[in-house]
Structure 1
């Protein structure tokens, strides 16, 4: 019963977060930004509710054409998810990337994923290549959309980018921005980035071990649970010295 409750909670948390985040994109990024900037709070709330109803209804309509969970899951993760994943990652690594590039890249990936599923895959007689095609076509279209949309539109104000860089201190192609900062701050950010790389190598197995500990506890595999607990403690110590120790009081 506890395991079933966990599955239901995981499904519902994913379901409502996707609906709410999608409605928020419509309300904040489109409706309030371009359609009605002077909208009241009540109008924004109404738009959010209508957007949520529309999203759920659209999902129900699409569900009637789905024969098994593997088809829709593969399309969501490899096809549709790629169109959003690439712009989300690119914004942290490229200083020139702007909102227009994000929107066009996301839209290009979305359209490519839908067309690939509806037009290309039904006529592809090689089932073993379907998942590759479903991933490659939206990925390429999303990358091209990001690049074209970014270079065809004005760059973001450099002061805004510098403030973003100072706060987030990301990796990647930020030389144009970082060269304007004081030398001591550049060195500090580079040192922090190196620590983050090391912390990431520890954090990934830490998260995996934390997940496996729950499984072993539910299955009453006490020997395995003990080994995982020891690994969890050692990895936690490593995370403390490579990451948590260097956070300031506000971040903690």
Structure 2
């Protein structure tokens, strides 16, 4: 999804894409709620389901009718395969383009790049299978991915937008430090609660970002200026913001303030949207009415603080 955001022509298209993506996501939660409700119903009328990870297989095999059952299994397999192949391809691309061709063999031929891509793809799959040998429960690996690996990647992903001094080395050091911290936690401290794992990986990642940034040269100013003109982020961009005329800078500041205010509408709007869709499946019409009213109110606030300004993108080249 990130690639689609990056490929958008302007702020308006990117904003509309995010709105459409959130709307599509809202259909995921009614599906999950429906599976959970059918699992609870089956557990009440039949033998209880002691393992939560068996709810979906039991619902598919015991409750869903023929036809729907096959359609759902095909859809789940397609979703799993698309995620799997995109992850493998992305990992191979990182190795081939960002490491092998960039540093190890800049003059590599197309054939050599293809060979490296195939080898790295095989290695990624083998490494994944190796780690799978030690995973007993889906929730175990999911918690580690989101709270440890995810935490290790979170700081560099955010800091690159809001801190002008951060460079590629800071990003790389932060990612590597966070990933290493996540692996160490998994191998030596698997009993840690998820909130502690998150803090540990995020803290190590932050240290990597700071060290990698300050121990290396800053990014050339012309690239920072070009980036700021296109994205106009808020945060610690003081030395770069000085290139803008005062009247344009005032418009950028106003845009930043609107974005910050809109965030306080957008986050609850998304949560309420998901809950509203779930209430339809649960047939809790009283809760549905309250959530729908909240959704309408948040939508109005989001319209005035964000949506209606999508077409008024600040032009930093204005004089």
Q: TM-score range by the shorter chain?
A: 0.7 to 0.9
Q: CA deviation at 1:202?
A: 0.9
Aligned to 2:234: 171
Question: How many Å apart are 1:81 and its aligned residue?
Answer: 1.4
Could you tell me which residue of structure 1 aligns to residue 294 of structure 2?
231
Q: What is the CA–CA distance in structure 1 between the aligned matches of 2:299 and 2:180, rounded to whole Å?
A: 43
Q: What are the Cα deviations for residues 59-93 of structure 1, in whole angstroms up to 9, with x where unaligned? A: 11111112223332222122121111111011111
Q: Is 1:243 matched up with 2:312?
A: no
Per the alignment, residue 103 of structure 1 pairs with 172
Match of 1:195 in 2: 258
Larger Rg: 2
2:137 maps to which residue? 68
Equivalent positions of 1:117-132 (< 5 A) are 117-119=186-188, 121=189, 127=191, 129-132=192-195
Tell me what 2:56 maps to. Answer: none
Greater Cα offset, 76-85 or 8-17: 8-17
Residue by residue, what CA displacement relative to the aligned partner does 1:155-202 show, whole Å, maximum 9, x if unpaired?
A: 101010011111111121110111222111211111001000111111
Contact 2:162 2:235 in 1 (8 A): yes
| Partner of residue 82, structure 1 | 151
Q: TM-score, normalised by structure 1?
A: 0.83
Q: CA deviation at 1:53?
A: 3.2
Q: Which runs of 5+ in 1 are unaligned?
A: none
Mapped to 2, the partners of 1:193 and 1:38 lie a distance apart of 43
- Report the Cα distance in structure 2 between the residues aligned to 1:144 and 1:36, rounded to whole angstroms: 31
Larger relative contact order (C-alpha < 8 A, sep ≥ 6)? 2
**Cα–Cα, structure 1 residues 43 and 78, in superposed 2: closer, same or farther, change >3 Å?**
same
Unaligned runs of 5+ in 2: 1-67, 315-319
Q: 2 CA distance for matches of 1:6 and 1:215?
A: 20
CA 40–191 in structure 1, closer or farther in 2 if over 3 Å, else same:
farther
**Change over 3 Å in CA distance of 1:223–1:6 after alignment to 2:** farther
Moved more, 4-13 or 183-192: 4-13
Aligned residue number for residue 54 of structure 1: 123
Q: What is the deviation of 1:137?
A: 2.6
